[in-house]
Structure 1
């Protein structure tokens, strides 16, 4: 049983993937991709292409990205992406059918690329891996400055079904406090262009807990977003992480900041529920009747994930693998340079093995952090036990805190409203001791 984390802090860690990349280590045996994928199912793969460039670096951002792409770096990066995609498709082989069920372009900011480069990115995905982008859900991330008409036209033409834009706040002063230079007028113009492109699903990201933010200003941002009738909204609590622009700033009293974020979360949740949105997870809200676009929050990275690009992760049932990870700008640049110079992409370099114990934890995490919860029978069929057999102490603790929904049917394990609100405390309590130790030993770079 894993040791519980400090339950007084509701914001421990955003668990969107398990194990976290800080638990990855160089793989001594550098296994071949052909070997890794030989026994895996390949009939419903997910494809993720990572573009590690942004026009600015937001103060809260700890994603693998750099500012700008000088000296034709974007061209060299796409060249390397082409080589990697070719190597991966070769490793998948042709013995079993290879089919894709979903695709996504993330980053960074994929729309940092020019319209012509985006067209090439789509060509790499289709011609090298065999995915039909017009036949599967295709989600793409963008930003206000890069959501230009020509780029959006390419994405619409190539089959994008979902566009996710990070706004964070419609208040210019709050945006500056988050070290995100933008003007509301430019944000509104970008949203207008996105709607004109007629991509079926618009997602808007907002952040709460920004310095100087109040319940009233938070409500104004929510209403400004709702005016565009987005099919999805993500509400993120602000985190201040090492090596980020805000990492050197004090966020005030942890207790006071936690209380502020919880209050703003509940304000946002309740407002969206009254405005016709359903809660999918702590962060994700979908307009009632809007089409789902692939897996939902927390479950977006499943077994059978092909990640292309130096910040992307790939998942087989037994190994999660990627490239080196960093936040510091100099380290990020070095890793990108190494990636663009790589000729042989046939082996996994950095990752973490997944045994059945970790697979159980991952299944429970991905399912329980969804508002609909987990089907107990599905867990039993996969692992041979009731989840209480494997996680009895943890589930008892969650129940004692009021985090489990006592009204759920016997065949469903589901969080209460309070449990969803504490997802960022609950999730880390399910980390294994080994993963927890690896994350603690990781030296930020």
Structure 2
């Protein structure tokens, strides 16, 4: 074993690389038309961000604000429409432009009224040219906003997947996570989602909540399984700066909390596997035989992402870009207000350049953190090298920890069961020194 200390199992959730805290204002904001000129545009992903929620949960550090003063959602959709028009013009018509997947996230997209959701779909279809009825469309919702009229709009416009954040079916745990909800309201919302007929229901649950035991965790899992969801996401609780829980912190030591979260993860994983679910990643489980009607949790990290809204990222092969980022409520309100007043969306103003070395890291990360692993031949075809040539010391260390699957078929680089369990420790180990430095220098706001 090397002398390098083993990373904690819960470092951070690697849902995008480089992380947005490594983005910076671009000194000479490039024109979108130039950025996209030579990019493949025949299989793009479209993401629309709606930065509104009815409440803010204690664990949440997403870019979202509570409520919306009169007229704000209209002004926001007006700005989204202007941005969509500018982005579609920048994509041009010199090569085929086609969207292969779409997602509405936030925030809570269903914070919008049914009529506003219709308008959001119109922007995606008529401004951007995405055929929502012909591609996977995933939409996030919440118990309070999953109303029949909203769900009917989404079902009619082509939604194939609805994801609802429940987090816990135990009232005391929901309170401990500062998640105001009643069990009856959660069950009623799940019933309305099933009645809407959208093919895939995903339920988000959280483990590691203060006071949560293996018994109460199993209770929440079984309550979710009663709805036969096509997908389940199991998220470890994180306590982050500037969040509700971040002001108090966990009630136990870091080591005790890590051990409890790992114990709960393994218990939940084993229970879902026994119930006929397949593991897709550390977080994602899909019911055996259920067709994937929405993107897996790595799909939004491939090149060719077009993001609309002030919290959305866009990805080209050379630049990842977005708008300013914040967690503090006052800062978020200021950024949302500034977005609604923006007239010129023709340039990328905040982002990070991605060179060949970072592209290699990103490819390895987005592939290795999936249960199916990474095809070495595909990596070699893209980069002309092998992952062991590029990341030998890191992979050797992972092998020493027992995180690589020694029984994987020839040509496949895959995590072991314990490697998947430690995804949130393993992922950050692959960040480049430059990205680490930029993230460390970021001042939370």
Q: Flag whether TM exceeds 0.5 (same fold).
A: yes
CA–CA separation in structure 1 for the residues paired with 2:207 and 2:31: 43
In the other structure, the counterpart of 2:102 is 103
TM-score normalised by structure 2 residue count: 0.98
Q: Which runs of 5+ in 1 are unaligned?
A: none
* Counterpart check, 1:322 vs 2:315: no
CA–CA separation in structure 2 for the residues paired with 1:294 and 1:46: 12
- Of 243-252 and 189-198, the range deviating more from structure 2: 243-252
In the other structure, the counterpart of 1:238 is 237
Q: Retained in 2: the 8 A contact 1:207–1:235?
A: yes
In the other structure, the counterpart of 2:279 is 279
SS in 2 for 1:286: strand
4+ runs of 1 displaced by more than 4 Å?
3-6
CA–CA separation in structure 1 for the residues paired with 2:74 and 2:18: 32
1:120-161 deviation per Cα after TM superposition (whole angstroms, max 9, x unaligned): 000011010011100000000000000000000000000000
CA–CA separation in structure 1 for the residues paired with 2:63 and 2:4: 27
Q: Retained in 1: the 8 A contact 2:161–2:294?
A: no
* Mapping for residues 14-413 of structure 1, pairs under 5 Å: 14-251=13-250, 252-413=252-413
CA–CA separation in structure 2 for the residues paired with 1:333 and 1:93: 33
Deviation at 1:292, TM superposition (A): 1.1
Structure 2 vs 1, CA of residues 429 and 437 (structure 1 numbering), >3 Å: closer, same or farther?
same
Structure 2 vs 1, CA of residues 187 and 354 (structure 1 numbering), >3 Å: closer, same or farther?
same
Q: Retained in 1: the 8 A contact 2:160–2:294?
A: no
CA–CA separation in structure 1 for the residues paired with 2:344 and 2:198: 36
1:339-364 deviation per Cα after TM superposition (whole angstroms, max 9, x unaligned): 00000000001000000000000000
Deviation at 1:298, TM superposition (A): 3.1
SS in 2 for 1:377: helix
SS in 1 for 2:185: helix
1:332-385 deviation per Cα after TM superposition (whole angstroms, max 9, x unaligned): 000000000000000001000000000000000000000000000000000001
Q: Retained in 2: the 8 A contact 1:5–1:428?
A: no
Deviation at 1:71, TM superposition (A): 2.0
CA–CA separation in structure 1 for the residues paired with 2:7 and 2:432: 20
RMSD: 1.1
CA–CA separation in structure 2 for the residues paired with 1:294 and 1:270: 24
Structure 2 vs 1, CA of residues 210 and 429 (structure 1 numbering), >3 Å: closer, same or farther?
same
Deviation at 1:250, TM superposition (A): 2.3
SS in 1 for 2:301: coil
Question: Alignment length, in residue pairs?
Answer: 443
CA–CA separation in structure 2 for the residues paired with 1:331 and 1:379: 40
